[in-house]
Amino acid sequence: MTVAEILLNLLGTPPAHPEPLAIPATGESRLLIDGDLVMGAEGRQLEHVNPADGSVVGTVADATMPDAERAVVAARRAFDQGDWAADLNFRRHCLSQLQDGLRAEGPAFRAALVEEIGCPRRMTYADQYDYAVEKLGFFTELIANMEWERHLPDELQPETRVERTVRKVPLGVVSAITPWNLPVELILAKVGGALAAGCTMVVKPSPLSPWAGTILGRVIAEYTDIPPGVINILVSSDIEVAKYLTRATEIDAVAFTGSTATGRAVMAAAADGLKRVSLELGGKSASIILDDIDVARMLPIIAGMACFNAGQSCIMPSRILVPRSRYHEAIEAARFGVESVPVGDPRSLDTFMGPLISESQRRKVEEHLSRGLAAGGEIAAGGSRIEGSNGYFFAPTLVVDLPEASPLLHEEVFGPVIALIPYDNEDHAVRIANNTEFGLAGYVWSNSTERAQSLARRLRTGMLGVNGGMFTGADMPFGGRRSSGMGREWGLEGLEEFLDVQTLATRIPE
């Protein structure tokens, strides 16, 4: 099997007879506010562009401040006056309906994702859609089985006793702000946890991937019994709307996924109200190849996989560390890997990597490369735009011989740019891997499981993948340390992000 074939199989497995891709996509223009699908108070609209060819694929309502204020008021009312927070069985019922609706609307989402973010069609059968929808069921089952109340031993006093209970209660109204790179998965991570916990929500998807949010809003309205106001979905290009959703006094918690710089701003804005904040931010993950690995066989696949989603994924290993004694061999193997990545039309099932999300993002990748190479190093593969279309394609790129201080070893590029780095021994590899402000993910490869796990545990990251093991299961908490964020999504911890603790003491006369 060729490297290209292996990469395609790792990306996702379509059914034997996949349904036709409904291009042009039929998106959804309306916002979901207080149970209604609406075009917004001021009638503003924004265009969104297919990054594979530069064409306008649709328009959606562009929410303004009156829409945001209405949504927040609706969420507050639904939490304070409705039964959502108290009725566990009803929440399970609605979450099951939502999952069934998402399954039914798979073709609509699949076409929308391919057109609005340029993700390869094959990805929609895995991380970009199907896996995310199936993960949602984890929360439905979790809330049926978890311990919502814990009873402590009674405290005995003269002629009385005190019953003591610790309860888990929903935080309240949650503002969720999500990015464009894996839009459905990142929305559902927050929606699943917050709704399961009993919270109400205002969700603001990225204006670069609006259909991922607006189609979800239509599914909620048409397939579920979720009461008005429990979840509101606003697409907006107005930065004031985003700021309001972090500052509004009616909001109790903010869940944000995006860049580290923006995450710091979100945290500062939420601080005045002492809101609970969860942040899933950037990464500069390292993949360490130990000296017992067959470099020629494994490194092309490891390097190729780092171009997943055109490198627009915070967990991808943009730094690959190899033994110095194998460095020149590794350069050739990694070059072969990145040059084997099938790049092209995202509508094709034979495409592994599509375009970057926008011309702005492509320029940022070029600027990172230019600034990084100014201090030394060279491009071993790629390094330029792929011409021949109006889309925002950039070649899978391998950079070598970088000095230790190079920005390419420390900054998140968010594009298909991989740095190959030699190390002298395992201690040196750990120092290089940890020499970053980020702490999201780390990867280790060895023929010895014990050796690989031992080294992996020394990495200062929130998640670790050893010998190809992945940490993105529904029951596995996802998140990072240091400048990669705080809090977790998915897993039990992803539900507890939206819960508070209430202690109840009741005096019982004897």
Pure H helices in 289-326: 295-305
pTM, rounded to two decimals: 0.94
| Cα(350)–Cα(121) distance, integer angstroms | 9
Residue 202: what are its φ and ψ, rounded to 5°? -125, 120
For residue 172, give Cα distances in angstroms to 194, 345, 360. Answer: 9, 43, 37
How big is the chain by its Cα radius of gyration, in Å? 24
Mind listing the pLDDT tens digit for each residue in 284-319? Answer: 999 999 999 999 999 999 999 999 999 999 999 999
Domains 8-281+485-504 and 286-473 share a fold: no
Q: Which residues are marked as active site?
A: 280, 314
For residue 470, give Cα distances in angstroms to 9, 100, 146, 428, 466. Answer: 15, 26, 25, 25, 8
Which helix (H) or strand (E) segment is 376 a member of? none
Tokens in use for 210?
């609006």
Mind listing the pLDDT tens digit for each residue in 406-449? Answer: 999 999 999 999 999 999 999 999 999 999 999 999 999 999 99
Environment class of residue 126 by beta-carbon count within 10 Å: exposed (0-12), middle (13-18) or buried (19+)? middle
| Cα(430)–Cα(414) distance, integer angstroms | 23
CATH homologous superfamily of 8-281+485-504 equals: Aldehyde Dehydrogenase; Chain A, domain 1 (3.40.605.10)
Paired strand residues for 280:
257, 485
Mind listing the pLDDT tens digit for each residue in 159-183? Answer: 889 999 999 999 999 999 999 999 9
| Cα(148)–Cα(137) distance, integer angstroms | 19
Domain spans of the chain, in order of start: 8-281+485-504, 286-473
DSSP 115-169: HHH---GGGGGTTTTHHHHHHHHHHHHHHHHS-SEEEEEEEEETTEEEEEEEEEE
Pure H helices in 308-396: 327-339, 359-373
Q: Which CATH number fits domain 286-473: 3.10.20.600, 3.40.309.10, 3.30.2130.30, 1.10.1530.10?
A: 3.40.309.10
Mind listing the pLDDT tens digit for each residue in 175-225? Answer: 999 999 999 999 999 999 999 999 999 999 999 999 999 999 999 999 999
